[in-house]
């Protein structure tokens, strides 16, 4: 059984509500297996208002991580976006990681979830947003 860990971090760490956002997600894949090399790729599922495309809704994507050597770490960066209809909430990003062994068969399938917070901007009232309702004037 493969022992791969997945860690995510975001830049910026939080999103702004009621406006388009662009943010970067750093994904770290760590192979703790001392013996095996795996080819690794991952599906990314980001439901609306998150999107993998800057100009249209796009929920599903795939990243190719490459070879995970024994006791090694590989980092990838994914750009994500929000549509302008995002509300203050926590938005989940789901991962399905596939590990292929030397025979080219799926050795392990790992499902992970990460989330990013979307917060209302305190200065939103001066920008034409009502703090009470979140409706633009």
Confidence (pLDDT) at 2: 62
Confidence (pLDDT) at 115: 96
Q: Kindly report the pTM of this predicted structure.
A: 0.80
Confidence (pLDDT) at 123: 58
Confidence (pLDDT) at 1: 58
Cα atoms in the 13 Å half-sphere on the side-chain side of 47:
7
CA 122 from centre of chain: 25
Is residue 134 included in any domain, yes or no?
no
3-state secondary structure of 125: helix
Is residue 130 included in any domain, yes or no?
no
Is residue 79 included in any domain, yes or no?
yes
Is residue 38 included in any domain, yes or no?
yes
Confidence (pLDDT) at 74: 96
Is residue 101 included in any domain, yes or no?
yes
Instruction: List strands edge to edge, sheet with 21-31.
Output: 4-11, 21-31, 72-82, 50-51
Is residue 83 within 8 A of residue 20, CB to CB? The reply is yes
Q: What's the chain's length in residues?
A: 137
**Rounded-to-integer distance, Cα 47 and Cα 71, Å:** 33
Is residue 129 included in any domain, yes or no?
no
Is residue 136 included in any domain, yes or no?
no
**CATH number for the domain that contains residue 55:** 2.60.40.1510
Give pLDDT < 70 ranges for the chain. Answer: 1-2, 123-137
Confidence (pLDDT) at 4: 87
Is residue 9 included in any domain, yes or no?
yes
Domain residue limits at 52: 4-122
Number of domains in the chain: 1
- Residue-wise pLDDT tens digits, 46-82: 999 999 999 999 999 999 999 999 999 999 999 999 9
């Amino acid at each position: 059984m493969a022992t791969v860990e997945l860690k995510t971090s975001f830049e910026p760490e939080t999103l702004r509500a009621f406006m388009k956002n662009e943010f970067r997600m750093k994904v770290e894949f760590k192979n703790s297996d001392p013996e095996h090399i795996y080819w690794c790729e991952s599906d990314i599922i980001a439901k609306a208002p998150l999107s993998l495309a800057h100009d249209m809704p796009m929920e599903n994507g795939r990243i190719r991580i490459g070879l995970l050597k024994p006791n090694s770490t590989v980092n990838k960066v994914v750009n994500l976006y929000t549509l302008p209809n995002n509300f203050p909430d926590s938005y989940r990003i789901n991962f399905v990681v596939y590990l292929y062994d030397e025979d080219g068969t799926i050795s392990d399938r790992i499902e992970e979830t990460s989330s990013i917070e979307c917060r209302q901007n305190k200065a939103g009232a001066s920008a034409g947003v009502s703090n009470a309702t979140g409706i633009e004037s």
